[in-house]
Amino acid sequence: MKFVMRPYNIISLGGYIVEVDFPYRNIIVVNPTAEPIKIEVPVFDESWIEEHENLGLIITPVTYEDNYLSMFRQEKEALDKLKR
């Protein structure tokens, strides 16, 4: 399945991680470009991160020890600065 990331948008893919051994509990995806970008979901392995970074997306993996909310807010603030 594919999602379309709208320009200057941010999403969280926690519910689309399907691999039990995946080292992250969530992934924050930011599209900092003016173009929509298609992403593949669900996320099966770590190679997904590099593949989507190569498309121009900013990928922030969230580990089990990380504070998801503060990381999301940090990425959102950086994205808001790009919009201006």
pLDDT tens per residue, range 7-23: 999 999 988 888 778 89
Q: Find residue 5's DSSP bridge partners.
A: 37
**Dist. CA 43–CA 39, nearest whole Å:** 10
pLDDT tens per residue, range 18-68: 877 889 999 999 999 999 999 999 998 899 999 999 999 999 999 999 999
Domain coordinates in residue numbering, the chain? 2-83
Q: Find residue 17's DSSP bridge partners.
A: 43
The pLDDT score that the predictor gives to residue 41 is 93
φ and ψ of 53, to 5 deg: -65, -35
**Dist. CA 32–CA 41, nearest whole Å:** 19
Q: Are 30 and 57 in contact (CB under 8 A)?
A: yes
State the pLDDT confidence band at 79, using cuts at 50, 70 and 90: very high
Q: Are 59 and 52 in contact (CB under 8 A)?
A: yes
pTM, 2 dp: 0.92
